[in-house]
Structure 1
Amino acid sequence: MARGPLYQGKYKPQFSGHETFPLRYGWLKKVFDRVAETEQDPRNRTACWGDDAIARFGVGKNMVASMRHWAKAARIIEEPEPNSVRTKKFGRLLFAPKGLDPFMEYPTTLWLIHWQLAAYADKTTWFWAFSHYPAITFDRDGLIKRLTQLAKDHAWSRVANTTIKNDIACFIRTYVARQPSGKTGHDDALESPLTELGLIKAVGKKDGFRFVRGPKSTLGDGAFTYALMDFWSRYARNASTLSFEAVMYAPGSPGRVFQFEENDVADRLAILDEVTGGALQWSETAGLKQVVRNIELNEQNALSWIPHDYDAVPRKGVA
């Protein structure tokens, strides 16, 4: 029987908020900058999302709502109180004026954003598709039927078929570029930066797709280490060891979210000692395959590995 956050009694699903718009280039930086400009005001929510936001961001009202949704889902910002909006540590690390990648020029940044969207159960379709869907290939109608049935099985309230259908359409457009046509220009076809990850490909028949499993050459060791620690802190925070099976197969794990094969995860874990200077170590003692930690599990320690990926890796398109 499947386990994980989606199958807990108090779980509240989310199939909306994006207003049917997938994440677009530049949105996270624009939202981060606006929130950073106003967060000295403890009641800055109106300043961020009020009527002037339409003119400031140069988009319609629904798109402003979508930008806000994606920035929160990517953990760039948060709304800790009803009237306040704040930047988060993860957002500041990437998008501050002296951040690692304010303009999303490095592939590692895209992997990190994908992790925030798919490793947490907040976005139901994203989490379920990467962590629970049992096959490599799928079609749009099949996803709709499975998620609709899941909602019925768990008696999730206020989940309409149309809402799930729109969410799945947005999910697919987040990862699969639309082919340019007479009605769709090249810019629209590449509207989501996460299409560059190649995690999902269109195949064969219309509305047929497949998850692309295997090694991810543009995923840096720093980002993988961050993801591993972030997952560990939620999966078994007090445990000093974490099994290979959990890293590979548990809902929300690096193996699931990054669509690795077993050998890919094994290769990553084998060099943890070198990558982290012994903070995390791979052990196969007494037939037990597990990661041993010699570091506290907290957000700051997890984030500390991310900068390593930006020291030697060129920006996208830069030799």
Structure 2
Amino acid sequence: MARGPLYQDSYTPQLSGHETFPLRYGWLKKAYDVVAGAGGEAEIRNVFGDDAIARFGVGKNMVAAIRHWAQVAGILVESAATKTVRATALGDRLFGAQGLDPYMEDPATLWLIHWQLAAQPTKTTWFWAFNHYPGVTFEREQLVKGVERLAKDRQWARVAAATVKNDVACFIRTYVAQQPSTRSGNDDALECPLSELGLIRALGKRDGFRFVRGAKSSLGDGVFAYALLDFWSRHTTAATLSLEAIAHEPGSPGRVFLLDENDVADRLAELAEVTDGNFRWSETAGLKQVVRDREIAPELALAFAEADFGASGRKEAA
């Protein structure tokens, strides 16, 4: 029986919101700056209202897309009760006055954003594709039919075929850069920064793609530790977490980062050093698991990730 949040009766699918536009460079920073300029919290209408077209320098649909991506990437959070939007701790650390990577030049930022999109079930197609799709290669139509079948099986209301098709198209464009053409130009080919992660590659045949499983050299151990703690907090309250769960459960680092079980085990073996002893790897009595001796605050998890910023530059210098 399928498991995970998509199969819970209380789950509400999200298959739109991006207006068919994948995330683009600069969008998260622009949205964050408006809210930060208002003291870290503002009325939604003052950020994404009628004057947002002039403020962001884009059309109405793109304003809606910017709003969508800022939320699902974990940079801004809205309150329906107060009709306000505020910056998150992640947004502050990445894009604030002393931000780690305001221009999204570090791979650590891209991995963190990918984690926000694919590790939590908010974006249905993203979560299903990385955590439930059974194959390595796929064609566009296979993903469309897979999501449609899921919607039918779960009896989700008002899921139109055109909506699913557009969502799958946006998903693919998020991770696979379009080839420049005389019509689209280089801007469209480089429109989404997450294509740099190399998680999905286009195959030679038309509309054929492949998930790239295996070791990820640009994924730092700090971001991995951050992801592990985030997954742990949603998966169980126990003080131990098995290698099996970390590598294979829906929403786990192994699934979301497309890591093989051996890749996950290698990273877990280094956890004690990466996390200053907050996590430790255990193989007692043949049981492979991570042990957490105390509760770890979310702020400390973000500190784990911060250690990765600039790491690629330090490696090159060495």
TM-score between the two structures when normalised by the length of structure 2? 0.96
What secondary structure is seen at the aligned counterpart in 2 of 1:178? coil
Compared CA separation, residues 96 and 41, structure 1 to 2 (3 A): closer
What secondary structure is seen at the aligned counterpart in 2 of 1:242? strand
In the TM superposition, structure 1's runs of 4+ consecutive aligned residues that sit over 6 Å from their partners are 315-319
State the match for 2:183 in structure 1. Answer: 183
State the match for 1:73 in structure 2. Answer: 72
Compared CA separation, residues 317 and 180, structure 1 to 2 (3 A): farther
State the match for 1:269 in structure 2. Answer: 268
State the match for 1:145 in structure 2. Answer: 145
**Native 8 Å contact 1:278 1:294 kept in 2:** no
CA distance in 1, matches of 2:40, 2:212: 43
More displaced stretch, 164-173 vs 176-185: 176-185
Amino acid at match of 1:50: G
State the match for 1:288 in structure 2. Answer: 287
Amino acid at match of 2:50: D
State the match for 1:167 in structure 2. Answer: 167
**Native 8 Å contact 1:105 1:316 kept in 2:** no
State the match for 1:100 in structure 2. Answer: 100
1:14-34 CA-to-partner distances (Å, cap 9, x unmatched) read 000000000000100000001
Compared CA separation, residues 148 and 221, structure 1 to 2 (3 A): same
Any unmatched runs of 5+ in structure 2?
A: none
How far is the alpha carbon of 1:90 from its aligned partner? 0.9
Compared CA separation, residues 33 and 146, structure 1 to 2 (3 A): same
**Native 8 Å contact 2:19 2:62 kept in 1:** yes
State the match for 1:244 in structure 2. Answer: 243
**Native 8 Å contact 1:175 1:199 kept in 2:** yes
How far is the alpha carbon of 1:2 from its aligned partner? 1.5
Give the RMSD, CA atoms, in angstroms: 1.6
CA distance in 2, matches of 1:34, 1:316: 35
**Native 8 Å contact 1:107 1:316 kept in 2:** no
State the match for 1:210 in structure 2. Answer: 210
Compared CA separation, residues 41 and 15, structure 1 to 2 (3 A): closer
Amino acid at match of 2:142: G
CA distance in 2, matches of 1:224, 1:111: 9
Compared CA separation, residues 139 and 312, structure 1 to 2 (3 A): closer
**Native 8 Å contact 2:23 2:69 kept in 1:** yes
Amino acid at match of 1:57: F
What secondary structure is seen at the aligned counterpart in 1 of 2:143? helix
State the match for 1:17 in structure 2. Answer: 17
1:228-250 CA-to-partner distances (Å, cap 9, x unmatched) read 000000001x2100000000000
Aligned length: 317
**Native 8 Å contact 1:213 1:260 kept in 2:** yes
State the match for 2:37 in structure 1. Answer: 37
State the match for 1:50 in structure 2. Answer: 49
Amino acid at match of 1:55: A
1:67-94 CA-to-partner distances (Å, cap 9, x unmatched) read 0000000010001234101000111111
1:39-59 CA-to-partner distances (Å, cap 9, x unmatched) read 5666x1111011111001000
Compared CA separation, residues 40 and 234, structure 1 to 2 (3 A): closer
How far is the alpha carbon of 1:193 from its aligned partner? 0.2
**Native 8 Å contact 1:249 1:256 kept in 2:** yes
Compared CA separation, residues 315 and 197, structure 1 to 2 (3 A): farther
**Native 8 Å contact 2:41 2:87 kept in 1:** no
Compared CA separation, residues 189 and 103, structure 1 to 2 (3 A): same
State the match for 2:301 in structure 1. Answer: 302
**Native 8 Å contact 1:106 1:314 kept in 2:** no
Compared CA separation, residues 317 and 173, structure 1 to 2 (3 A): farther
**Native 8 Å contact 1:39 1:85 kept in 2:** no
How far is the alpha carbon of 1:66 from its aligned partner? 0.1
CA distance in 2, matches of 1:224, 1:91: 18
CA distance in 2, matches of 1:295, 1:222: 19
What secondary structure is seen at the aligned counterpart in 2 of 1:55? helix
CA distance in 2, matches of 1:104, 1:79: 23
How far is the alpha carbon of 1:298 from its aligned partner? 3.3
More displaced stretch, 272-281 vs 121-130: 272-281
TM-score between the two structures when normalised by the length of structure 1? 0.96
CA distance in 1, matches of 2:57, 2:6: 37
What secondary structure is seen at the aligned counterpart in 2 of 1:304? helix
1:220 aligns with 2:220: yes
Amino acid at match of 1:54: I
What secondary structure is seen at the aligned counterpart in 2 of 1:310? coil
CA distance in 1, matches of 2:307, 2:300: 13
**Native 8 Å contact 1:140 1:208 kept in 2:** yes
Amino acid at match of 1:88: T
CA distance in 2, matches of 1:184, 1:213: 30
More displaced stretch, 238-247 vs 76-85: 76-85
State the match for 1:117 in structure 2. Answer: 117
Compared CA separation, residues 315 and 195, structure 1 to 2 (3 A): farther
